[in-house]
Every structure is written in structure tokens, then in C-alpha cells.
Amino acid sequence: MVMADSKVEFAGLRVRYGRREALKGVTFDARHHEILGIIGPAQSGKTTLLSTINRTIDNVPGAVVAGTVRLDGQDVRLTRDVFGLRRKIGMVAPLPVGLPLSIFDNVAFAPRMAGIRDRHELERRVESCLRQAALWDEVKNRLTSLGTKLSGGQQQRLTIARALSHDPEVLCLDEFSIAIDPVTTMRIEDVLRELRSKMTIILVTNLVQQARRLADRTAFLFNGELVEIDATEVIFSHSPASRRTYEYVNGIFG
């Protein structure tokens, strides 16, 4: 089922950690310039799914991947240049991770690692990424202070700025709001709506209402299987295709 407008495709994707099967063959896609929400209770395989896209799953001892993940129609597991692949994907982890570097260096890290040395170019990128992450105004006067000294919500926006710093084509967010306050969450959600015009966003979230607010389409994962994927209005309507989806989004189980 290759679709012309697929950005990321999962086809029969299976992941095992030793004996435990985290993903039991899921097939769906994320399209160009959409926000794809992925919801599902704990242990449903959401985080694992994200780690297969940029192949950080390779670093997990004992993880076995079968099936395919394609980025722009190309199998990510066949690529020679895994670091080039990762530079196409921005990844935001559940807990904010300010690297123990200055705020500037945190955001300049990825461009530098990719070989950009020009000071002006780095400054331009750092500013634009911090602006996109709605953090610039708060930190523009202290770019040299430590990223780890920022508050939790600021660090999470710093993490987002860093994820944007290498011009990714796909931005994956893994429950980005669990460590930050509702106001900051709303600001970041606004940011994501704007970013949609530039990139594909995959939003894994435990807050079903967040998916409802943001996502164009929503996928419901349960126990390593895809229960259903559909337009967000359908998922949150009275009649999604699966009874379990209805029960989950309405808090009846999960």
C-alpha cells in the first residue's frame, strides 16, 4: 500500500525485545505536512514505533526488528548513512534533556556535528530554532548559560529547538508534555500547528485531548497492534470503526 503522499510508512512492522513482542505487525503511514497523533495506553508500542524511524532502536540491546519502515519510499533499514537518516528526523523525548552545554551550544550541537563551522550561520540557525520553539524571548540574553539550568518547561522547548536544529523533515514528539505545565504545553501546541506547513509531525501522546486538538489523523495503538487509524474527527466521534477506540478515547478503559 504505497501511497504517493506518504512521508513515513510502516509496513508489517514487528519489534521484539527478547520474548516480549512490542509491535505485532503494524501497517500505516504518516503523510506529508500532517500532524499524525498516536494514542494508546502504556505498553502499546508507541515509543518503540518512533525509535524504528530513526533507528535508535539499533542501540537497544536485544531488540529485533522485522517488517519495513520507509522514509520517502526508502527502507530506513537499508540505508548506509544512519547518521544522515537521523538528521532528517527530529526526536523529542518524554523528559526534557538539556545537554550539559550552554543554551547556544545545545542548539548548535547538531549543525556543528554535521560540519557547519561558520559562526554567523550557526547564530542564524540557533535564533531561528529557538524562535520556532517559542523560547527565544526568554533566553536571548543568556545564551551562554547552561541549558541544564533552565526550568523543566524551558528545557523541553530547548529540546524541541534542538530537534529542529538540523532542519528535520519529520518531527517526532514522544509525550512531550508530561513534564511541563499546561500554559507551556499550549504554547508548544501553537508552535506545532505552525510547523505543520514545513514538516510532517508524529505526535505520540497519552493525552487523548491533545491528539484531538492537534492531529489531522489519529492512530490508536493497543498492545502492539494498530486498532485503527482515521481522521481525528472520526476517531473522536460516536462511531469510530472499533468499539475499543470509542472506549479508550472516552476513558472507559485503558
Partner 1 sequence: MFQATPLTRRKGYAELVAKTIFFAMTSMMVLPLVLIVAYLFYQAWPILSLDFLLTVPKHGMRAGGIWSPLLGTLYLVAISLVVATPIGVLAAVFLNEYARETWVTRVINLAVVNLAGVPSIVHALFGLGAFVLFAHLGKSILAASLTLAIMTLPVIIASTKEALSSVPMAFREACWNVGATRWQTVWHVVLPNSISGILTGVILQVSRAAGETAPIMFTGAVFYKAIPEDTLFAYGLFDQCMALSMHLFTISTQVPDLPKALPYGAAVVLLGVVLIVNAMAIVLRVHLRSRKKW
Q: Provide the binding-site residues for partner 1, judged by CB under 8 A.
A: 54, 56, 59, 61-62, 83-87, 89-91, 93, 95, 97-101, 109-110, 113-114, 146, 148, 159, 162-163, 165-166
Phi and psi torsions of 100, nearest 5°: -70, 60
Q: DSSP of 86-134, one letter per residue?
A: HHTEEEE-SS----SSBHHHHHHHHHHHTT---HHHHHHHHHHHHHHTT
Q: In this complex, which beta carbon is closest to partner 1, that of residue 164 or of residue 188? A: 164
Q: How far is the CB of 234 from partner 1 (least distance, A)?
A: 32
Name the helix (H) or strand (E) containing 159: helix 152-164
Q: In this complex, which beta carbon is closest to partner 1, that of residue 6 or of residue 51? A: 51
Q: In this complex, which beta carbon is closest to partner 1, that of residue 53 or of residue 226? A: 53
Q: How far is the CB of 150 from partner 1 (least distance, A)?
A: 11
Q: How far is the CB of 143 from partner 1 (least distance, A)?
A: 15
Q: Are 201 and 8 in contact (CB under 8 A)?
A: no
All three cell numbers of 35, joined, read 500532524
> Helices 182-195 & 152-164, crossing angle to 10 degrees?
10
Q: How far is the CB of 110 from partner 1 (least distance, A)?
A: 4
Q: In this complex, which beta carbon is closest to partner 1, that of residue 48 or of residue 159? A: 159
For cell 517526532, the residue is 172
